[in-house]
Amino acid sequence: MTTPVAADARVVALVPAAGRGVRLGAPIPKALVPVCGAPLLVHAVRGLLAAGCVDQVVVAAPPDMVDVVVDALREFGPTVRVVPGGEERSDSVRLALDEAVSTHPDTRVVLVHDAARCFTPPEVIRAVVEAVRAGAPAVIPVLPVADTVKEVDSAGHVVATPDRSRLRVVQTPQGFDIDLLRRAHDQQDAPVTDDAGLVERLGEPVATVAGHPHALKITTPFDLVIAEALFSGAQL
């Protein structure tokens, strides 16, 4: 748990970008939707590389659009590889992980970062990598919850009010010791949207670092408007 990873250990970022973006409702897959002058995915990859601590990026693309995605990412050269993604997000992560392991077996630290969180500040990416390097086998960026949260039953009746001070919303990149992420995915039996959840099921500890509001996930047209408003004047 506390064995530090060598400072020069290879860091690979897996970017699941194979979703259709049903809730966004655009005519093209969400990762290719333009925001602030470039596709979401281009901003996401640029942000990962700008953090200065990621050696390789593996993108899981919509299987029928691998060529389009390769074209969109050409500017980054061989540092960025593209594989066809899968049916569910967890399948896409698994396929990208297999690619990372087969092309760079010496990789020790792996990040999993949603293409949809395309404006994640570099300091969040660095904080996650540093925490894994310092010996935490699984690390997630989190934010406190602003609203009161209720648990309801299938009829919509409230069954519980969790103590808000103990709740966090979870962002990406999530960082892992690569062997642990492989073990977590090997025992996965149902699709999940959160890799750290798989690690929890193994009984392994998951550490947290501070997330950032700018790491918001673009899910709906509303989120796209927010992102344009926040970042259209920024140096991206």
Q: Quick check: 175 binds ligand CTP (CB under 6 A)?
A: no
Query: Which of 10, 43, 81, 89 is in the footprint of ligand CTP by CB under 6 A?
Result: 89
The DSSP element (H or E) to which 159 belongs, if any, is: strand 158-160
Residues 39-68 that bind ligand CTP (CB under 6 A): 60
Tokens 């904080």 locate to: 127
Strand, coil or helix: what is 81?
A: strand
Structure tokens at 63: 């299987």
Rounded Cα distance between 31 and 61, Å, is 8
CB under 5 to 8 A by kind: which of ligand CTP, Mg ion, none does 87 bind? ligand CTP
Query: And the tokens for 10?
Result: 């290879």
C-alpha–C-alpha distance, residues 61 and 87, integer Å: 11
Among 5, 10, 12, 16, binds ligand CTP (CB under 6 A): 16
**Quick check: 30 binds ligand CTP (CB under 6 A)?**
yes
Q: What token pair was written down for 188?
A: 């996965």
**Residue 94 binds ligand CTP, judged by CB under 6 A:** no
Do the Cβ atoms of 41 and 115 come closer than 8 Å? Answer: yes
Per-residue binder mask for Mg ion (CB under 5 A), 18-57, x = binder: -x--------------------------------------
- Hey, how many other C-beta atoms are within 10 angstroms of the C-beta on 199? 23
Binding residue count for ligand CTP, defined by CB under 6 A? 22
Binding stretches for ligand CTP (CB under 6 A):
16-23, 30-31, 60, 85-89, 92, 114-116, 217, 219
Residue ranges that bind Mg ion, judged by CB under 5 A:
19
